[in-house]
Amino acid sequence: MDVIGSEPVVGVVTAYDLADGTGMDVIQAVREQTPQTPVVLFTDVSPAEIDTNSVEEVLVEYLNRDLPDATDRLGFIVNDVIDHSAQVGFLTPDNEDERLDALDQYDIDSLPIEESFERLTDLITAHFDVAVAFVGLIEEDEENFLACTGGDWDSLTREDTICTHSMLQEDVMVVEDIANDKRFNKNEQLENLGIVSYAGANMTSSDGHVIGQVCALGHEPRRYTAKEKHDLEQFADTAMEILELRQSVLDNQDVEVHQ
């Protein structure tokens, strides 16, 4: 377990019966330290005999070691769960690979976008009279915040974000009161940040992929009118235009240098 806490681990395979505990202890520890790391429980102990009373909502892939093709299956399954981030606590669009490819087209670290986005999030907080506004890009495992007014946020694990749900909807997603929504009201990260209301609009690339979100967050419950939702979409479209234009300028500079 020391290794899991200190080094990147892409996947864990554990037996159930261990000299100093059980595989469930390992799984619990992995989920607490790196919740998105896939785990396979490889054992000849049947599920009904496995003590799950000590763990809470800890999902794992179970593979019966007694199956005739168990060893072949194990290799196949381990590769699969690693390649597909197969045990995360959020759903991904079925074109997730293409979406991530589209996101990779933007050389975010080289683009002078921070000041532009900060001006934009300042405007959003003022326009909606909300505590926090941000521009975030949704990467494979986390959301990276490019600008954030009202909060000092760098990134969040993707399953802890509302944006990973919002990005799956075409229109603006509003959560009037997170306390009343089971998808989010057990999320300690959101609670610690004091977020009560949420509105998120998609940043959609020119080839149609949702790569990020522009969001307004409040510390109080609130509704958004149709006009306000439309305004948020306009802000998201503006953020996307800034990103596209900056990338175009960078691409043209690279061409000129090579010439």
- By beta-carbon proximity to other proteins, the closer residue of 76 and 253 is 76
Tell whether residue 25 is a contact of other proteins (CB under 8 A). no
Indicate the SS3 state at residue 63. Answer: strand
State the nearest-atom distance from the C-beta of 249 to other proteins, in Å. Answer: 33
Q: Which stretch binds other proteins (CB under 8 A): 40-48, 137-145, 197-205, 237-245?
A: 40-48
b/e code 182-221 from CB counts within 10 Å (16+ = b): eebeebeebeebebbbbbbbbbbbeeebbbbbbbbbbeee
User: Cα separation of 161 and 187, whole Å?
Assistant: 9
Comparison of 87 and 116: residue with beta carbon closer to other proteins: 87
CB of 4 to other proteins, least distance (A): 18
Query: Is residue 112 within the footprint of other proteins (CB under 8 A)?
Result: no
For 46, 136, 233, the CA distances from 170, given in Å and listed in that order, are 43, 17, 10
Q: Could you say whether residue 93 binds other proteins (CB under 8 A)? A: yes
Regarding 119 and contact with other proteins (CB under 8 A), the answer is no
Among 4, 13, 29, 50, binds other proteins (CB under 8 A): 50
CA distance 257 to 251: 10
Name which of 81 and 214 has its Cβ closer to other proteins: 81
Decide: is 87 part of the binding site for other proteins (CB under 8 A).
yes
Distances (CA, A) of 36 to 7, 22, 32, 57, 106: 14, 20, 10, 14, 25
Q: Does 108 bind other proteins (CB under 8 A)?
A: no
Does 199 engage in binding with other proteins (CB under 8 A)?
no
The single-letter DSSP state of residue 95 is T
Question: Is position 115 an interface residue for other proteins (rule: CB under 8 A)?
Answer: no
CA distances from 239 to 105, 114, 115, 147, 204 (A): 16, 11, 12, 11, 10
One residue of 18, 67, 245, 249 binding other proteins per CB under 8 A: 67
CB of 72 to other proteins, least distance (A): 7
Q: Minimum CB separation from other proteins for residue 81, in Å?
A: 7
Among 10, 21, 33, 52, binds other proteins (CB under 8 A): 52
Q: Are 14 and 39 in contact (CB under 8 A)?
A: yes
Summarize as ranges the residues that interact with other proteins (CB under 8 A).
Answer: 24, 38, 41, 46-48, 50, 52, 55-64, 67-68, 72-73, 76-77, 80-81, 84, 86-94, 159, 165, 168-169, 173, 175, 180-183, 186-187
